[in-house]
Amino acid sequence: MARNYNWKTGCDVEATLSVIGGRWKPVLVCHLLSGRKRFGELRRLTPNATERMITLQLRELESDGVVSRHVFAEVPPRVEYELTTFGRTLEPILNLMQTWGREFKHRRLAEESEYDPVVRRSQSG
């Protein structure tokens, strides 16, 4: 996909974000870490994403060599996606993002319960 990124002089973090940036790409890659998935399965695993957005994100990941698409000549056609060897190199990054996100959610929930009298009452009683 066309990107406004200069591969010769751009920042390395920007290069990473140009591949896995966006709301759904990291989520889709995370789901594919556990193995090959059909499109419908990915759609069910990401219910807040539209079908069109999932399709677009998978196409970009495929064009960047992160995901491979397997089409089976059946009726109805069956399409499966899986991470490439290169795509699997994102696993440590995504694991760190999961850990950070879990800790962030825990922190935010603790902050909310500290200021929410209903939550504080239910925790103390």
Alpha-carbon dihedral sign for residues 9, 12, 14, 16? positive
pLDDT in tens, 59-104: 999 999 999 999 998 888 899 999 999 999 999 999 999 999 999 9
In angstroms, the CA 35 to CA 102 distance is: 23
Q: CB of 37 within 8 A of CB of 82?
A: yes
Distance of CA 60 to the CA centre of its chain: 13
Q: Which two tokens stand for residue 1?
A: 């996909």
pLDDT in tens, 5-53: 666 767 888 888 889 998 999 999 999 999 999 999 999 999 999 999 9
Domain boundaries defined on the chain: 1-86, 90-125
Closest residue by Cα to residue 60 from 29, 25, 102, 99: 25
Instruction: Tell me which residue has tokens 């807040």.
Output: 48
CATH assignment of 1-86, among 1.10.10.10, 3.50.50.60, 3.40.190.290, 3.30.565.10: 1.10.10.10
Q: CB of 66 within 8 A of CB of 29?
A: yes
Average pLDDT along the chain: 88
